Every structure is written in C-alpha cells, then in structure tokens.
Amino acid sequence: MTLTHLNQQGEASMVDVTDKDITDRSARAQSAVAMSAEAFAQLKAGNNKKGDVLATARIAGIQAAKKTADLIPLCHPLALTKVQVDFTLDEAGNTVHIASFCRLAGRTGVEMEALTAASVAALTIYDMCKAVDPAMVIGPTRLQEKTGGKRGNWSAGHHGEGHREQGQ
C-alpha cells in the first residue's frame, strides 16, 4: 500500500491531481445539535439574545466550506460552485438537524467541504446558544453521499455502511 499524502522522503505532501479528469462532483453531509427545551424554544422563536441563530449558522457553514483548505492540512483549495446549508427543527427531540451540500466541476471531491460546512454550522449553533444550555450535544456528523470522480457515487446506509456505484 502506498500512502498518498507522503512523499518519497516520508514528508507530508499534497496529492497532485493535475492529471485527473475534471468531472461534476458533489457531496452531502449532516450533523445535529441536541439542546434543552429552553434553548430550543428560544432558537425556534428567534429571540436568542445573540441574534438569528440559524441565519448566522447558515452563513458560517457556507463560509467554512469555502475555507476548508485553510483548516484541513493538505486539502486542495476548491472553486466551489454551490454550497447550501439547511436546517430541520425536531421539536420532539429539541434538536436542530443540519444538512449541507457542496458541488463543483473539478479534479477532486468535495466531501471535506460538505463535512466542514455541517460541522461549523453546528459549532455556530452551539456558540450562539451556550449561555442558555452549555450541555448541548453535537453529532453525529457524517457524510451522506458523494457523486463523481474515478470511484463513482457513494451513499450511506442505514447503519453506517456505505454503498458504492461504479463509474460516473
């Protein structure tokens, strides 16, 4: 097995993707923030003292996807063509579910960008609500699906396993 992020001297190295084909690529990720009933009620009503929690978390998630290469060592900077961050409120569980989507036409995938968007959106929700509930729980955070590239499409199964479709 050859390690892709080490050069011949064993030093960290960014993978050269110059010769890879440009293909349409996308990725979806998810995360969640579970909180107390009081924090959830404030978030839902829009009367959190720090402002509009979901609007701020959406902007933070989009910005984070665009800055992923600044955060993850050896990650390629990408010219994203689409970043979307959406929220679903689960009143029964006092949980905000976060869904992120990233897309581009490029030589490498956008999984890390989608995961970063979902993660930073979750962290922003935590930051804005922590005065009311410092015991909030973030997660699970995971990749839901990816499309494009040499290895084809992949989607998460119900119990953590994945399914790959070859060639796209």
As annotated, the active-site residues are 127
Q: Distance (Å, rounded) from C-alpha 146 to C-alpha 148?
A: 7
Q: Pick the closest to residue 31 from 82, 86, 80, 83 (CA basis).
A: 86
- Rounded to the nearest 10 degrees, the angle between the axes of helix 37-45 and helix 111-129 is 100
Nearest to 65 by CA among 49, 51, 82: 82
How many angstroms separate the CA atoms of 114 and 101, rounded? 6
